[in-house]
Amino acid sequence: MTESVTIDLDGPEATVELGRRLAPLLRSGDLVVLTGELGAGKTTLTRGIGEGLGVRGPITSPTFVIARRHPSLAAGPALLHVDAYRVGSPAEIDDLDLGVDDAVTVVEWGAGCVEHLSDDRLDIVLAPGRSDDGRSAVIHAIGSRWQGCGLSSLVGA
Ligand SMILES: Nc1ncnc2c1ncn2[C@@H]1O[C@H](COP(=O)(O)OP(=O)(O)O)[C@@H](O)[C@H]1O
Ligand SMILES: [Mg+2]
């Protein structure tokens, strides 16, 4: 079952804020897959998720490493931030032995490579928005994990 919500993001701060508001819904073992062109706001959204989870930063584009683990500064889950741009296949992801079970895993460029890691996931698609310089985010909640989780509370609040 899939539930989808669309959110307008009228500037970078709105993208960060969406991440902050998403964070309390996330727990260890969750998978979030971010899709969107270069500059769409994937890392910005990840930064907000990291802030909301209260993990050690800074969260930057992991250009020279494929994955970076940000431990919690409190008792919450770690954030595993993955850039799968140069990963060619699900088998390559498995070879990396990322350790997704004990972290919230957020993957940039993950579509087509990481879906096998979990039965449930959030697919978030970032695209140019209605305003000249904004973005829109479409969140697809996939699997029973997300049934009735209150995703729609993210819209417009
Ligand atoms: N909602 C938004 N509206 C306008 N600019 C945004 C928005 N969200 C992020 N940005 C900006 O877009 C640029 C690229 O963001 P980034 O997160 O690095 O993209 P990606 O990781 O998808 O390549 C940054 O300068 C960021 O501040
Ligand atoms: Mg990025």
- Residue 156 covered by a domain: no
DSSP state of 72: B
DSSP state of 55: B
- Residue 58 covered by a domain: yes
Atom of ligand 1 nearest to the CA of 36: 22
- Residue 22 covered by a domain: yes
* Ligand 2 midpoint to CA 146 (Å): 25
* Ligand 1 midpoint to CA 9 (Å): 10
pLDDT digits (tens, 9 = 90+) for 90-114: 999 999 999 999 999 999 999 999 9
Residue 79 scores a pLDDT above 90: yes
Residue 39 scores a pLDDT above 60: yes
Which ligand has the shortest distance to the CA of 62? 2
Residue 2 scores a pLDDT above 80: no
- Residue 155 covered by a domain: no
Q: Of 95, 140, 133, 131, which Cα lies nearest the Cα of 3?
A: 140
Q: Please answer whether residues 42 and 61 qualify as being in contact, where contact means their C-beta atoms are separated by less than 8 angstroms.
A: no
pLDDT digits (tens, 9 = 90+) for 110-141: 999 999 999 999 999 999 988 778 999 999 99
Task: Specify the CATH number for the domain of residue 81.
Answer: 3.40.50.300
Counting the structural domains of the chain, the total is 1
* Ligand 1 midpoint to CA 40 (Å): 5
Residue 50 scores a pLDDT above 90: yes
Residue-range definition of the domain harbouring residue 92: 2-143
- Residue 152 covered by a domain: no
Does the predicted model carry a pTM greater than 0.85? yes
